């Protein structure tokens, strides 16, 4: 996550010295390229590939799935109609190929013969629970790599100054935010009011959720203890970030200065302007911090703090934010992000304690969230007409409602929440299918210059004044949301994921896009697949980590409404928008894998 030109100037790239190819320019299109997930497909579940060509291929072209070692054909399918995507690159055609009907295991590649030449995909695996078997060890290792535990960081953060003060606090621990940013965030973009992502507290909650949802797969992959340790490590950082007054410190900011003594606890505006507004409102990381502490307290597992202290801290912070969250919010008003973050906080405290005060707040916030659903099916972010769109946490409203329903038993309240989930899922399917969309990339609605419009990517002209980047966290959160919510409102025992086929395919498309089935033939999980972004170097020995997810693909650079499509690995210091790893991307991908593995 980048913020300023001096950060851009500080970034250095080096080549990753293993057999990973960097991206080909999109203009250098071969006659036919077969785009696929470059890593692994679950043996039971959706499997999509896309043929990319400079001329429209005939519909019904035979696509052979071959065992990679001996080139033996094990399955055949036919290509769909060749289509151009409006607003993307002219003269580029895409044809879908679905091989979901194959459930064998092993290493494979796809092959077609056209105009006397043969085209092949990269080699990939198909195996039972393949996504989990690859992703769980990769992601757990990545977060361990991201720990802010260098000698320089630990020494500086033991006594880090509060902005504008001589007071210091001990904020050791946590995870570096990105492959190019060693700062630590509960959230940022607070001044935008509507674009705030959930960062370290969400990562911690996500780890706890995975640990509770798929313990047998964690045992199978040898990651159960390591993930639990990492989650408790996150909880300990949240504990140290809780002030004596009862609020959480939002950001430990490095200023992209190699001197660790420059680090400060700050509130952050655009262009690295810093303030003493570092107190977290619900939407600024406070709600998810409470949720993470309350949930991990149920493990009865102690870290540097005890499980009883985790719960006591969550209750103290909740009481404080009930009184002061509006004061800490930049515009002094609640919006949808406060609602879903406070819903997560109160739901987890309700489940941890059974106390009516948390039940009542959870019901209130769930009601608020349901009341924000528009007739079209998207949520309204404010008290007027701004659609909710989000580059990272687009699925979190539904995940919050689903988590609340893990506890709620009142029939009327359950029905209202379930109806909201159903209408939201319907909207996501309808808007995504409304245009030519061979990859099944999820579209969204947003307010642009006073008018609501629908598009693939977020608008570049937005409340931040500068921030836009790839949306892989959005894809992971939506994949997790449609599977988690879909099991509640559209269950289907006949699919591998336990949801109706349209939702399973929707989620599968998003995971495959991240793992390489995208127009740039780029696997966004570093160190896996065939084509990765270049290595990004950072301070104190940090940098790109194997298993971490990069920002990904955006709308066309220079298009204010985010139309078109773009991906760059070199852009005079701005390449971070596409190639930088960011911890929310990886945490949300973990949730997508968890959701696929839960059924």
What six digits make up the tokens of 184? Answer: 């630590």
Please give the Cα distance from 405 to 484 (Å, whole number).
11
Please report the beta strands in 60-209, taking only residues with DSSP state E, as ranges in sequence order: 62-67, 72-78, 93-98, 106-114, 117-120, 124-127, 160-162, 168-169, 184-185
| Per-residue pLDDT at 1 | 54
Q: Is the pLDDT of residue 16 over 50?
A: no
Q: Sorting pLDDT into bands at 50, 70 and 90, what band is 371?
A: very high
Q: Quick check: helix, strand or coil at residue 486? A: helix
The better pLDDT of the pair 11, 461 is held by 461
- Neighbour-count burial of 199, counting CB atoms closer than 10 A to its CB (0-12 exposed, 13-18 middle, 19+ buried): buried
Tell me the backbone φ, ψ of residue 549, rounded to 5 degrees. Answer: -105, 130
Please give the Cα distance from 284 to 330 (Å, whole number).
10
What six digits make up the tokens of 421? Answer: 């989930």
Q: Are 178 and 583 in contact (CB under 8 A)?
A: yes
Please give the Cα distance from 23 to 26 (Å, whole number).
8
Please give the Cα distance from 466 to 273 (Å, whole number).
14
Q: What is the pLDDT of residues 411-458, one digit of tens each?
A: 999 999 999 999 999 999 999 999 999 999 999 999 999 999 999 999
Mean pLDDT computed over every residue of the chain = 95
43: Cα separation from own chain's centroid: 24
| Per-residue pLDDT at 20 | 37
Q: Is the pLDDT of residue 18 over 80?
A: no
| Per-residue pLDDT at 29 | 40
Length of the chain equals 599
Please give the Cα distance from 1 to 536 (Å, whole number).
12
| Sequence ranges of the domains in the chain | 32-127
What is the longest distance spanned by two Cα atoms in the chain?
74
Q: What is the pLDDT of residues 209-260, one digit of tens each?
A: 999 999 999 999 999 999 999 999 999 999 999 999 999 999 999 999 999 9
DSSP letter (8 states) at residue 383 = S
Cβ burial 451-469 (10 Å sphere, 16+ → b, else e): eeeebbbbbbebebeebbb
164: CB partners within 8 A, 6+ apart: 275, 276
Question: Which neighbouring-strand residues pair with 570?
Answer: none
Q: What is the pLDDT of residues 19-30, one digit of tens each?
A: 333 344 444 444
What's the topology of domain 32-127? Immunoglobulin-like (2.60.40)
518: CB partners within 8 A, 6+ apart: 35, 439, 553
Helices 286-297, 200-213: inter-axial angle, 10-degree rounding: 30
DSSP letter (8 states) at residue 148 = -
């Amino acid at each position: 996550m980048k913020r300023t030109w001096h950060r851009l100037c500080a970034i250095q790239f080096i080549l990753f010295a293993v057999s990973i190819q960097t991206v080909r320019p999109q203009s250098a299109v071969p006659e036919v390229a077969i785009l696929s997930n470059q890593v692994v497909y679950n043996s039971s579940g959706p499997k999509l590939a896309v043929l990319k060509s400079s001329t429209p291929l005939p519909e019904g072209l035979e696509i052979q799935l071959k065992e990679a070692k001996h080139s033996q054909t094990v399955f055949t399918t036919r290509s769909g109609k060749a289509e151009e995507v409006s607003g993307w690159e002219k003269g580029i055609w895409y044809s879908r190929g679905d091989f979901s009907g194959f459930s064998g295991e092993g290493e494979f590649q796809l092959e077609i013969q056209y105009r006397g030449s043969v085209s092949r995909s990269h080699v990939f695996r198909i195996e039972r629970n393949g996504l989990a078997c690859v992703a769980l060890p990769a992601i757990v290792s990545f977060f361990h790599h991201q720990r802010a535990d260098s000698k320089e960081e630990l020494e500086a953060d033991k006594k880090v100054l509060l902005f504008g003060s001589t007071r210091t606090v001990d904020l050791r621990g946590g995870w570096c935010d990105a492959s190019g940013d060693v700062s630590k965030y509960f959230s940022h973009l607070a001044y935008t009011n509507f674009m705030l992502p959930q960062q370290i507290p969400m990562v911690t909650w996500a780890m706890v959720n995975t640990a509770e949802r798929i313990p047998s797969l964690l045992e199978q992959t040898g990651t159960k203890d390591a993930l639990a340790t990492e989650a408790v490590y996150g909880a300990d950082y949240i504990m140290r970030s809780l002030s004596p007054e009862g609020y959480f410190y939002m950001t430990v900011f490095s200023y992209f200065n190699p001197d660790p003594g420059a680090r400060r606890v700050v509130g952050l505006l655009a262009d690295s302007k810093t303030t003493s507004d570092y107190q977290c409102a619900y939407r600024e990381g406070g709600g998810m911090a409470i949720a993470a502490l309350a949930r991990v307290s149920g493990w009865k597992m102690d870290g540097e703090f005890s499980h009883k202290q985790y719960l006591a801290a969550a209750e103290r912070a909740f009481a404080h934010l009930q009184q002061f969250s509006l004061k800490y919010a930049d515009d002094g008003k609640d919006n949808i992000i406060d609602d879903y973050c406070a819903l997560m906080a109160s739901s987890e405290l309700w489940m941890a304690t059974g106390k009516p005060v948390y039940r009542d707040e959870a019901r209130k916030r769930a009601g608020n969230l349901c009341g924000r659903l528009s007739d079209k099916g998207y949520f309204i972010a404010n008290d007027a007409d701004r659609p909710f769109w989000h580059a990272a946490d687009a699925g979190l409203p539904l995940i919050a409602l689903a988590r609340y329903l893990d506890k709620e038993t009142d029939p009327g309240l359950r029905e209202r929440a379930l109806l909201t989930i159903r209408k939201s899922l319907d909207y996501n399917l309808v808007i995504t299918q409304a245009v030519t969309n061979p990859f099944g990339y999820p579209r969204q609605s947003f307010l642009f210059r006073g008018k609501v419009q629908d598009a693939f990517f977020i608008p570049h002209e937005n409340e931040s004044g500068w921030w836009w980047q790839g949306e892989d966290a959005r894809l992971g959160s939506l994949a997790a949301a449609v599977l988690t919510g879909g099991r509640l409102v559209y269950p289907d025992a006949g699919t591998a994921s336990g949801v109706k086929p349209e939702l399973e395919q929707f989620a599968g498309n998003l995971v495959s896009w991240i793992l390489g089935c995208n127009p740039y033939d780029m696997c966004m999980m570093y160190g896996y697949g065939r084509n990765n972004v270049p290595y990004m170097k950072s301070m104190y020995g940090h940098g790109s980590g194997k298993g971490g997810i990069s920002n990904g693909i955006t709308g066309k650079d220079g298009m204010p409404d985010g139309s078109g499509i773009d991906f760059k690995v070199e852009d005079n210091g701005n390449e971070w928008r596409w190639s930088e790893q960011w911890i929310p991307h990886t945490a949300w991908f973990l949730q997508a894998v968890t959701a696929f593995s839960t059924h």
